[in-house]
Structure 1
């Protein structure tokens, strides 16, 4: 009897899934299918310009370790720009502490962030720099108002430019 209950519980837990991943895309009206970007460089050129960590995240779509970014501590006013091409991506007033270990924002600078479907681990919405195509992170629908979105961004993909 205990074995049957154990198997039933195992099947029940294995069939559960998170609600933040239910929709096909968090921002399905903004999906871009293009791979053409205004800043285009070879892998060799990117490797010369970026640190190893920046290259790994921005060009190979990796994820940095949580709570490893110095950007988590920044509370100043300013703009977060792409570490590869300096395109402004997020304003400091949209940053919030999501508790996830990555810099999080509830709104992007419109037109400067692109989106694609990422099927690597379920279906997620991947974010990239609309200028150079650098991988930034993912956006989820569990953020604060006014948008309800959480742009979960790799800190190594960003640089902070303080307001003057």
Structure 2
């Protein structure tokens, strides 16, 4: 028999055999690599979620102008931008358009003030940015702007 376990020796039947050299297991290194990749993936997901929450998907402009805001459910609100934060947009003097049918069957639309017509008389509307599809400026000479101005002129002070 040989003193070195990895050298061949003659067995009783004349066959040459080799003793197995113990190999280092690759399992701990593989486990460490997979763990590191999982940590990196979780950090990337957390960063993406934070970025999605913190980002402002639009830059409507300075407060004080009137904007149209469409929500994911299709609702449209029109109001004066009071403030814009990373997580929400706040409108004041909020209106929406309500469709109706005239007695002769013709369709019509009217602007409705939330403050004057909603039962709770809200003075502002805070909208989470993740619910907003888009924000547009309402032109000062647009039909909507004229209807809002007419409604404000009729408002009792």
TM-score bracket relative to the smaller structure: under 0.3
TM normalised by structure 1 equals 0.27
TM normalised by structure 2 equals 0.28
- Return the structure number with greater strand share: 2
